[in-house]
Structure 1
Amino acid sequence: MAEGLDELLDEVESKFCRPGPLRRGAAGRPRGCGGGVLGTERDRAAAEETLRSAETFEKEDDLDSLINEIFEEPNLDKKPVKLKSKSSGNPSVRASTQSLGKSCSPVYLGGSTAPCGIGTNTSQRACDRLRCVACDFRVVSYDDYMWDHSCDYLFFRNNMPEFQKLRTKLVKKPGARAYACQCSWRTAEALTALQADPQLRWVCGRH
C-alpha cells in the first residue's frame, strides 16, 4: 500500500509541479536586449519621435517665415477721406458770440437786422438761446421770413422742428425774423422786449 501511495504522489508531482514546455519557453525569452519584438518596437517609437520633431521644426520655420512676410510688407498709402459738408438752404439760426453761462436781462426778440447775443439794458441784442417752458422745446428762428397768417397750434405741434415741413408756412420777408417753438410762434421786425408779450412762455436758455 505504501508503494502505491508513493507512485500516486510521483504522478501528481509530475503533472502539477513541473513547468511545462510553454512556461519554460516563456521563462527563457530574453527581455529588453535590443532584439526581437521588443527591440523592433523601440526602434519604431524612436523613428516616430524623430519624425514628429522634424515636422514640428518645419511648422515653426513656416510660421516664422509667414510672420516676417507680414511685417516686411510695405504699408499702403492711406489717403484721408474728406467729407464734404452739404450746405443746406435753410436759413441759419444765429449763434451767440458771447461767453457761456450768462442770461439775457431783459430778453429781446428782433428782426433779421438786429444783432444776436446777450441782451441787457445797455446792450440790446436779440436772444438766440430761447427755450419754451411750456413745451420744453428750443425756439428756432429764421431770418428774412415771416409766418403765414394760416398757421395754427396743430401745424407746429406736428411739424416742429423740421424745416422742410415748416417752410410751407414761411413767407419771404426781408428784415423780418420768424420765431417758433412747438406751441407758440411769432414774427418780429423790430427789437422788442419779450416781457411785452405775456402770452409767450419763452425764457433765455443761457449763453
Structure 2
Amino acid sequence: NASTSLLRVEKIRWNFCSQPLAIEHLSPDTSEGSSKEDDLSDMIEDIFHDDPIISNSSKPGPRTADSGGKRSSSQVQGRKCCPVYLGGSSAPLGIGTNISPRTCDQLRCTACDFKVVTIDDYEWDKSCDYLFFRNNMPDLNKLKGKLLKRRGGRAYACQCTWRSIQDLTDLKGDQQIRWVCGRH
C-alpha cells in the first residue's frame, strides 16, 4: 500500500542519503498505486545496486491477477558492462568487465534515447556534424555517404554523438559521450 511504500522510501533516505529526497509528489493515485510504488522501489534498487549483474525489475513486466505483480524468471536478471568499453573491429564484442575487456554491443544514448550504431572497418568523415546524424539516423544508406574505409576501426554513432575508434577505450575517459550499456 501507499503508506508502506513511503515508509520504505523514508527509511532508505534516512540510511543512505545525505540530502533529503523530494518525495512529496510521489503519492500514488488510487488507480495505479501499485505500479508507481513498484516503479519507485525498482528505481531505488537500481541506484543502490549498480553492479554488472542487476535486476531488470525497472522494466515493467506483464501483470496478471494470479501473478501478484511478480515477474517471470526470464526478466529477473540482466547483465550490463562495467566498465563500458569502445574499441576497433579487432576488439571482441560482448559484456565488458575489468577482467574481460570487451566492447559493448548494446550501447544506448541517454541524451537522444537512440541505440548506438556500430560499423566495423569504417570511420566517420571529418565533415560530419550534428545535423547530419540528426537527419539521417538510423538509415544506414544515408549514413554511408560520410563513412571512410579504415581497417581495424569501428564507427560509432547515435543521433547526437559520433566517434571513430581504433583501440580499446574505456568510455569513462570521454566525458562528452552519454552512452550507457543497454544490458545484455
TM-score clears 0.5: yes
Which residue of 1 is the match for residue 54 of structure 2?
A: none
Q: Which residue of 2 aligns with 1:129?
A: 106
Tell me the secondary structure at the aligned position of residue 104 of structure 1.
coil
Tell me whether 1:117 sits opposite 2:81 in the alignment.
no
1:175 to 152, 174, 177: 152
In the TM superposition, 1:97-108 aligns within 5 A as 101-108=78-85
More strand by share: 2
Q: Which runs of 5+ in 1 are unaligned?
A: 1-99
- Identity score, percent: 68
Aligned-residue RMSD, C-alpha: 1.2
Number of aligned residue pairs: give it: 109
Deviations 1:50-70 (A, max 9, x none): xxxxxxxxxxxxxxxxxxxxx
Residues 121-171 of structure 1 deviation map (CA, whole Å, 9 limit, x = unaligned) = 000000000000000000000000000000000000000000100000000
Distance in 1, Cα, partners of 2:161 & 2:150: 20
CA distance in 2, matches of 1:133, 1:174: 29
Q: Which residue of 1 aligns with 2:168?
A: 191
Moved over 2 A (4+): none
Find the structure with the greater CA-based Rg: 1
The one of 127, 143, 149 equivalent to 2:120 is: 143
Which amino acid is 1:169 matched to? K
Q: Distance in 2 between matches of 1:101 and 1:147?
A: 32
TM (normalized to structure 2)? 0.58
Name the CA distance, whole Å, in 1 between partners of 2:176 and 2:103.
Answer: 18
Deviation at 1:176, TM superposition (A): 0.1
Task: Return the structure number with greater helix share.
Answer: 1
Cα deviation, 1:89-124, whole Å, max 9, x if unaligned, reads xxxxxxxxxxx7100000000000000000000000
Query: What are the Cα deviations for residues 178-207 of structure 1, in whole angstroms up to 9, with x where unaligned?
Result: 000000000110000000001000000000
Aligned match for 1:200, one of 174, 177, 180: 177
The one-letter amino acid paired with 1:142 is I
Q: Aligned equivalents of 1:124 and 1:106: distance in 2?
A: 8
